Structure 1
């Protein structure tokens, strides 16, 4: 049975398992525990970060939906206003460009008076 076992350089039969000193094993185990604790902390940080990213994505999606609805509401309001302006300009005989210039002048006056 000793013939099948491993031998060292001198030809001596090596034991079935290698024994190392207990302080050496304790040191290695301590290093491994420190590394595991370090990795556990990093994993927890990454988990927290991904949860925060998910929350941010959800809130951003809700904000985009709200902005989209607001955009369509504003678009419909402007379409109605433009339609009414066209009707007013046709019925009064004044062109749309004249109304546009008038509106710009009034807006400019409001801006200048405010400042």
Structure 2
């Protein structure tokens, strides 16, 4: 803020505006008002931006919570499947396990062949 030269041209003994000339004081006040409005608009913009960031964070947290629950259910499903496969491999059903392995190899071979022909 500029203060140099504000009291120039005031007759001695005229201290009605605390030693400032009317034109200099009003110019300084106008500049302060302009700077205040500029600062107010910047603060408003930052406030709206921070509110939008808050909404985005809430949305992302909700998405992460949904993904976490889906991963938990998938982990449970895979755990049960692996348990059943262990039971199957311990039993005398090795012939069935062999058929399952051959079937899965056949499916992977077909998928590989289809992709390769593209």
For 1:18 and 1:67, the matched residues in 2 are separated by 67
Q: Kindly tell me the number of residue pairs found equivalent between the two proteins.
A: 104
User: Aligned equivalents of 1:50 and 1:71: distance in 2?
Assistant: 31
Distance 1:13 1:31 in 2: 27
The alpha-carbon deviation at position 13 of structure 1 amounts to 7.9
In structure 2, the residue matched to 1:4 is none
Q: Which 4+ runs in 1 deviate beyond 4 A? A: 12-17, 96-102
Say if 2:99 is the partner of 1:103: no
Taking only aligned residues, the RMSD between alpha carbons, in angstroms, comes to: 3.2
- Superposition map of 1:65-84 within 5 A: 65-84=65-84
Distance in structure 2 (CA, Å) of the matches to 1:16 and 1:32: 21
Higher relative contact order (CA 8 A, sep 6+): 2
TM-score by length of 2: 0.68
Taking structure 1 as the reference length, what is the TM-score of the superposition? 0.69
Unaligned runs of 5+ in 1: 1-11
Cα deviation, residue 30, structure 1: 1.0
The Cα offsets for residues 69-103 of structure 1, whole Å up to 9 and x where unpaired, read as: 00011001111221222233333225x79966863
Could you tell me which runs of 5 or more consecutive residues in structure 2 were left unpaired when the two chains were aligned: 1-11
| Gap change, CA 1:97 and 1:64, over 3 Å in 2 | farther
SS in 2 for 1:110: helix
